[in-house]
Amino acid sequence: MRGRRSLRVCAGLILALAAGCDDAPPALIDTRDAAADASDAKAPSDGATDVSDVPAAPRLEVLTLDAMRSEFPDATATRGGKGYVALRSLGRVIEVSADGSYRAYAEAPSGSTVRGLAFDATGRLLLSVVHPTAAQTGVWRVDAGGGVATLVAHNDGLVTPGGLTVDAIGTVWVTDSDPGAVWTLPMGATALTRWSNDASLAGGAVVCGPTNMSRTGANGIVVDGARGLVYVTNSDQSSLVRIAIAADGSAGAVVVSTRDCPRLAGAWGLAMGPGGSLLVAAGLVNKVTRVAPDGALTALDTPLGLLRSPAGLAFDRDLNVAWIANSANADATRPGGMPVPGVVRLPVTP
């Protein structure tokens, strides 16, 4: 069934791109595939026990994408039990349900790259976009319900906007992967302001894994307003950076995590998890690592092969599940590699 689903996903996506995204984007739910899955699950095999009597295993990889069509996922967000996934180089966002059904949700300008997603308090989706025209690189927004994105904020100093989040008072926070910085956008503003460019946010030589110059520094971001802290992953440095928010709102003291290649190599997506913990997608070691409030690191148990260069990560606190983008980057960049990008929905124990 997975091969058939992948083909239908591709066909559905092509229809979505042809139709475009307007105020009411088309619902491209492949109910035929869902029906076929249900039929397969209920059909006895050669006189064996009817598998309909056997409890279904959790469906962890909810969607398989097509690398041949450049359907490589990156940023993720979650709302109302669904996952929202940016197809990085296509500049598009799809809405994915737990059963694997999906629809086209948002579209950025042709040729742009979407690297961050977050919902604001009104249900509008914000996107961090790298645009071919520098003046169009910045924060874009889609009305509640989906549609075509429009530019809402820019700064000439912004180079590679990455992770994106919105805090409790409506301020937007954006990382800048190269050269390594954090920017803010107060509610109602149209110009981003550089909040921190501490050296700990800069990229450079990869410290866990093959040595090369990647220049992917500051990436995922979480703002813990209650504790006055900002957390940022540094992908090249495989580290978690903690920056205090000073009384006047400026960047304060900086603390960098101890290097832990087995559990933080290629730290990418970041989300606030259950019980005040953090969840980190470690792309170079195919793990999601939980960071306890005391700093202890624990890799979540996952089936072998489920995670393939995990990138974007979003946590649904109501359902205790993490939506994870399998970017398949390692296989995509390895000579002879056969990348299988997709979307994972992983339960997280409270």
Delimit the domains of the chain by residue range.
2-42+57-347
Would you state the pLDDT for residue 215?
79
Closest residue by Cα to residue 284 from 259, 308, 312, 302: 308
Tokens of 230: 């900002």
- Cα 236 to Cα 213: distance, rounded to the nearest angstrom: 8
Sheet holding 73-79, edge to edge: 73-79, 82-87, 92-96, 102-107, 147-148
Looking at this protein, which amino acid is placed at residue 25? P
Evaluate the CA torsion angle 101, 105, 111, 114 in order and state its sign.
negative
Confidence of residue 258 (pLDDT cuts 50, 70, 90): confident
pLDDT at position 212: 62
Q: Which of these CATH numbers, 2.120.10.30, 3.40.50.1440, 3.30.70.100, 2.40.240.20, describes 2-42+57-347?
A: 2.120.10.30
pLDDT at 31: 29
Q: What is the pLDDT of residue 32?
A: 28
Per-residue confidence band for 213, with pLDDT thresholds at 50, 70 and 90: low
Rounded to two decimals, the pTM is: 0.84
Is the pLDDT score of 30 beyond 70? no
Cβ pair 224, 293 in contact under 8 A: no
Decide if 300 contacts 319 (C-beta within 8 A).
no
Confidence of residue 350 (pLDDT cuts 50, 70, 90): very high
**Per-residue pLDDT tens digits for 278-332:** 999 999 999 999 999 999 999 999 999 999 999 999 999 999 999 999 999 999 9
Find, among 219, 217, 123, the residue nearest to 166 by Cα. 123
**Whole-number pLDDT of residue 205:** 79
% pLDDT > 90, the chain: 78
pLDDT at 19: 36
pLDDT the model gives residue 259? 86
Is the pLDDT at 93 greater than 80, yes or no? yes
Question: To the nearest whole number, what is the mean pLDDT of the chain?
Answer: 86
> With the C-alpha atoms ordered 106, 108, 110, 116, is the resulting torsion angle positive or negative?
negative
Output the pLDDT for position 59.
Answer: 83
Mean per-residue pLDDT for 129-133?
A: 96
Beta bridge partners of 95: 84, 103
Q: How much of the chain exceeds pLDDT 70, in percent?
A: 82
